[in-house]
């Protein structure tokens, strides 16, 4: 029965075979077997039963381990089977997530809105890719997810599914049923679905992985009040962090972090270790007003200890080894990279184009940066690299000999400021003199500038 249900997908679609997208919700007759992205939380547990009732479809539950702290994945897998899933699949994707998604974000210093180090946005395209792969393997014709109609994740997941397999249908029960949290809890009780945390736990919307954690909803939505202590489940409040600072050395090779305090670590282990250090010192708390791609402004509270440490060190090392022109130009591309990722356009060709530049720019980002962690702050205090564009003898206020001719500075200043001075003089004259004609000021008004050409 299973073998007969598996569809034969081509390795790639022929040119011109893309199917037009549709916002129509597939009806029960169009849905046979559903691959459900299952977290074990209230929403996806309720929808596991709800899909069976509404669509009379078989459910294959897919749970993806991206390094969520404290998650018992065996319990999640068992819960899916208990609720009626014909199969429950657990994928440990931590290494792929770190190497293929987090690492490019490190090289791109991926921060959205000048505050949010991307992590949820990095995980969704990987989760959706795995959903497509396992839907093919298990004969599913539909992918179901637990995203709301007000969030970014629906776009990120559905854009990836549509890009990788436009034949797959998508259902999003939370967009369809319009149940409140209390109604979901009542449905869960009626159908014998365990409610994680009971009903007294503040109904924050939580997402986390090895690169960070987000919390939104409930009293966080009151912009006039600071977040309650209950929000922070990952990072120590800075007021309660150790009274003594701690120094940590982060070593990079071609933009990739490879060691902490001289100990070489695989990337997943390194990110986990950095997160532990940051959590202890209250590092990486972000209280952020965010522009969602669906048009809403929302408030999110992020806990990003690993990102706060690694990105701070990476950017500091880049500043040391890259020219002023590289550093200034790269920031504009970083913003675009972050937006594409945030907006769910992971498979847009422009992101791949930008990745090529990020790889090139990181060729010389090799060296180490020492950071001081103290009560919520991350401060670079030392750095070194064989590619450093820093010469102490040149930078020193002492004598630099013939290497730097200070006598050349006046001429440089005169040429460097020439257009600024000309613009100020011309515009000042035009504001205080009648306009002489469309040809503009006479040449005599500029004669004091000398032979500018």
User: Annotated catalytic sites, by residue?
Assistant: 43, 124, 153, 205
Distance between CA atoms of 164 and 126, rounded to whole angstroms? 12
Burial 291-304 (b: 16+ CB within 10 A, else e): eeeeeeebbbbbbb
Place of tokens 């003898």: 393
Tokens encoding 393: 């003898």
Neighbours of 128 (CB within 10 A): 28
Distances (CA, A) of 17 to 10, 275, 345, 346: 12, 45, 20, 21
Beta carbons of 232 and 319 less than 8 angstroms apart = no
SS3 assignment, position 250: strand
Measured distance CA(358)–CA(299) in Å, rounded: 30
Distance spanning both ends of the chain, measured CA to CA: 83
Question: Distance (Å, rounded) from C-alpha 330 to C-alpha 255?
Answer: 14
At 115, list the tokens. 């505050």
Name the nearest CA neighbour of 236 among 278, 273, 271, 279. Answer: 279
C-alpha span between 321 and 386 (Å, rounded): 9
Distance between CA atoms of residues 64 and 111, nearest Å: 24
3-state SS assignment for residue 169: strand
| Nearest-angstrom CA–CA distance, 147 and 171 | 10
Q: What residue has token string 């790269």? A: 330
Number of Cβ within 10 Å of residue 419's Cβ equals 11
d(CA 415, CA 143): 63
Residue 253 phi/psi, 5° resolution?
Answer: -130, 115
Q: How far apart are CA 358 and CA 104, in angstroms?
A: 8
Helix axes 324-342, 120-138, angle to 10 degrees: 50
Residue 136 parent element (H or E): helix 120-138
Can you give the length of the chain in residues? 453
């Amino acid at each position: 029965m299973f073998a007969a249900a598996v569809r034969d997908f081509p390795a790639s679609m022929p040119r011109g075979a893309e199917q037009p997208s549709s916002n129509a919700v597939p009806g029960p007759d169009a849905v046979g077997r559903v691959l459900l992205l299952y977290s074990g939380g209230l929403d996806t547990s309720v929808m596991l039963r709800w899909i069976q009732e509404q669509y009379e479809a078989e459910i294959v539950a897919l749970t993806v381990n991206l390094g969520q702290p404290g998650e018992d994945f065996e319990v999640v897998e068992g819960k899916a089977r208990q609720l009626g899933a014909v199969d429950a699949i657990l994928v440990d994707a931590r290494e792929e997530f770190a190497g293929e998604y987090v690492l490019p974000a490190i090289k791109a210093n991926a921060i959205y809105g000048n505050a949010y180090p991307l992590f949820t946005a990095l995980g969704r395209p990987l989760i959706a890719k795995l959903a497509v792969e396992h839907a093919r393997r298990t004969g599913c014709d539909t992918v179901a997810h637990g995203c709301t109609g007000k969030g970014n994740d629906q776009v990120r997941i559905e854009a990836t599914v549509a890009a990788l397999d436009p034949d797959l249908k998508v259902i999003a029960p939370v967009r369809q049923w319009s149940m409140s949290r209390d109604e979901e809890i009542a449905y869960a009780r009626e159908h014998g679905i365990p409610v994680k945390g009971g009903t007294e736990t503040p109904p924050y919307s939580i997402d986390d992985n090895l690169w960070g954690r987000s919390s939104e909803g409930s009293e966080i939505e009151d912009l006039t009040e600071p977040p309650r202590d209950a929000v922070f489940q990952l990072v120590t409040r800075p007021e309660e962090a150790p009274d003594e600072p701690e120094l940590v050395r982060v070593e990079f090779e071609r933009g990739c972090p490879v060691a902490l305090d001289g100990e070489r670590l695989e990337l997943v282990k390194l990110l986990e270790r950095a997160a532990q250090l940051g959590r202890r010192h209250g590092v990486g708390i972000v209280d952020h007003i965010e522009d969602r791609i669906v048009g809403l402004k929302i408030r999110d509270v992020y806990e990003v200890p690993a990102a706060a440490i690694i990105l701070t060190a990476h950017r500091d090392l880049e500043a040391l080894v890259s020219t002023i022109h590289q550093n200034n130009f790269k920031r504009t591309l970083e913003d675009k990279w972050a937006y594409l990722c945030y907006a769910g356009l992971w498979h847009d060709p422009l992101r791949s184009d930008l990745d090529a530049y990020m790889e090139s720019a990181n060729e010389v980002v090799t060296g180490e940066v020492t950071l001081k962690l103290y009560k919520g702050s991350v401060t670079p205090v030392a750095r070194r690299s064989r590619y450093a564009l820093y010469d102490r003898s040149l930078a020193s206020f002492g004598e630099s000999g013939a290497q730097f001719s200070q006598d050349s500075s006046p001429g440089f200043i005169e040429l460097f400021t020439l257009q600024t001075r000309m613009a100020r003089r011309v515009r000042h004259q035009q504001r205080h003199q009648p306009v002489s004609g469309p040809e503009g000021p006479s040449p005599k008004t500029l004669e004091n500038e000398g032979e500018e050409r």
